[in-house]
Structures are given as C-alpha cells and as structure tokens.
Amino acid sequence: MKKKNQIFTYFWLFPGVGYIIFFLSITIVMMVLQSFGFFSLTAASQFSFKYWQYLFDRQFLDCFLFSLKIGLVSTFGALIFSYPLALLMRKSFIWKKTFGSILKIPLFVPAVVGAFLIINLMAYHGILNEVLLKLGLIKEPLRMLYNKWGINIIVIQIWKNIPFQLLIISSVVETIRTDIEEAARNLGANSFAVVRYIMFPLSIPGILAAVIIVFIFAFGDYVITKVAGPTYPTTLSVQMQTISMMFMEWNKAACIGVIIMVTSALSAAFFAKLAKIIQGIK
C-alpha cells in the first residue's frame, strides 16, 4: 500500500518537477559530453581531453579572475545596502507599503534595461559626473564606462540585485520575534549591540542564501557585461558565448560552461562553510 502511494506521488510530481529535471539534465549531459569532445561540429566526435587545455590559457585565467571579482564585489556591495534596508523594513513607518513596492522595481526591470539605465547615468557627460563636478569633488568627468575594472558592471549588478537580496533576507528577518529584541533593550543593550548580538546571528541563514544566489548571478552574468563591460577581460559567460557562437568552438565553450557551474556549486559550499564559522564565533 505504502509503495503504491509512493508511485502515485511521483506520478503527480511528473509534469512540473519532471519537466525541470528532464530539460536541465539533458542540458548538463550535453554540456559535459561536448566538453569531452562529443557532438563536435568541426572535428571528429570522439573522447578527448584536448579541449580542457584551454583552462591553462592566459585568456581563461584573466576572465576567470574578472568574473570572480565582479561576483564578489557585487554580492557584498549589494549586501551593504540590502541588510540595513531589511532591518529598516521591520519597523513601521508611514508609506511603508508604497516604499516597499518602489524598492522592488529593479527586480522587475529586465537586466538589459537596467544596464541601459545605469549607462545613461554613468556616461562621460552623464548626470553622475555632472553632479560630482558641481559639488567640486572632481576636476574633470571620470571615464566610468567600459573601463577595465568593471566599475559600471558592479554598479548595475548592485542596483539590480539589492531588491533580490532584500526579499530573501527579509523573509528570514521577519521571522525573528520582536520580544527577543525588546528583552535585550531592557537589559541595556544599545542599537548596535542588538544588531550585532541578536539580529545578525539570527539572520545569517537569510544572508547566506542571498549571498549565494547573487554571487551565482553576478559570476555567471552575460548580458550586463556584454552591454556595459570592457571587451577584455570579460566574464566567463561572455567569453563562452563568443567562443561558441562566433568561433563555433562548442567543445571549448562547454569546458567553460562546466567551470562556471562547478565554480557556482563550490562557491555555494564555501559560503555555507563561512557562515558556519561566523556563527561559531558569535
């Protein structure tokens, strides 16, 4: 009887969950097979390690480090804004609901549009430069677009991902009971102490999820870097797309794809470990 129920459950799961599992697994299997030389368009389709040699290429290394930098800086840059906002959204103030809706706008703006919006602001004669000039902070406009440090990519990523992190962190922060906070205040804790010893440790699970997801987004980003970033170095995703669709070297591109996926998975494990360590310190 129990076994029959089990089969019945999987029957229900089949349409939705099965769809996802089916398409993702054929995608991943195709990628891994191509990285080992199968399904080749240009050469004979056979098992070989030769495409993996690309990993020792200078170009690959540059792009890998660039992606890593964009990923880390964007993730923690967004966290600086989203965590205080998540704490703020716990309090009640006037127009909170409208404010919350406005905050979600970047989440509903497609990445291409987001990139364009920020390019407008950061252009040579854009409003950001104008304001800085008027304030007398700089003597001449800064060149912020397409620069090799990827400053504007990071700004776009932060702009786009703050609401995302905010939502994930809020869903955890809102479950923290207010009486713990009040108890600490009664015992004489100031605002800083409350955040440091109560709110922060309890919101680590949310922060962890937010950090992992946004890191994977920024690390594997294609469209923002393609539109606003420098031509070289660029993120691994842009490099992979160029190699596959322009040079038709799909097997090499598949190696990059595997590396992107593996790095994403490893980074998730790494951040989870880091969160454990931080929780241990208290």
Residue numbers 221-280 binding other proteins by CB under 8 A: 221-223, 226-227, 237, 240-241, 244-245, 250, 253-254, 257, 260-261, 264
Stretch that binds other proteins, among 53-61, 195-203, 208-216, 272-280 (CB under 8 A): 208-216
Among 115, 153, 207, 255, binds other proteins (CB under 8 A): 115
Stretch that binds other proteins, among 54-62, 102-110, 179-187, 270-278 (CB under 8 A): 102-110
Q: Find all residues with CB under 8 Å of 127, minimum gap 6, and list them.
A: 120, 121
Interatomic CA distance for residues 258 and 27, integer angstroms: 11
Report the b/e string of 138-160 with b at 16+ CB within 10 A. eeeebebbeeeebbbbbbbbbbb
Q: Is residue 133 near other proteins by the rule CB under 8 A?
A: no
Q: What angle do CA 176, 204, 167 make, to 5 degrees?
A: 70
Least distance from C-beta 31 to other proteins, angstroms?
Answer: 4
Stretch that binds other proteins, among 52-60, 106-114, 178-186, 270-278 (CB under 8 A): 106-114
Q: Is residue 14 near other proteins by the rule CB under 8 A?
A: yes
Least distance from C-beta 35 to other proteins, angstroms?
Answer: 10
The CB density around residue 166, as the number of other CB atoms within 10 Å, is 25
With respect to other proteins, which residue has the nearer C-beta, 61 or 127?
127
By CB under 8 A, the residues from 143 to 182 that bind other proteins are 159, 164, 167-168, 170-172
Torsion on CA atoms 101, 105, 107, 111, rounded to nearest 10: 180
Query: What would the two tokens of residue 92 be?
Result: 């009640």
Least distance from C-beta 103 to other proteins, angstroms?
Answer: 6
Least distance from C-beta 168 to other proteins, angstroms?
Answer: 5
Among 102, 248, 266, 272, binds other proteins (CB under 8 A): 102
Stretch that binds other proteins, among 51-59, 80-88, 196-204, 269-277 (CB under 8 A): 80-88
Build a one-symbol-per-residue string for 36-75: x at contacts with other proteins by CB under 8 A, - elsewhere. Answer: ---x------------------------------------
Least distance from C-beta 57 to other proteins, angstroms?
Answer: 19
Q: Is residue 111 near other proteins by the rule CB under 8 A?
A: yes
Q: Is residue 88 near other proteins by the rule CB under 8 A?
A: yes
Least distance from C-beta 12 to other proteins, angstroms?
Answer: 4
Least distance from C-beta 202 to other proteins, angstroms?
Answer: 14
CB 221 within 8 A of CB 237: yes
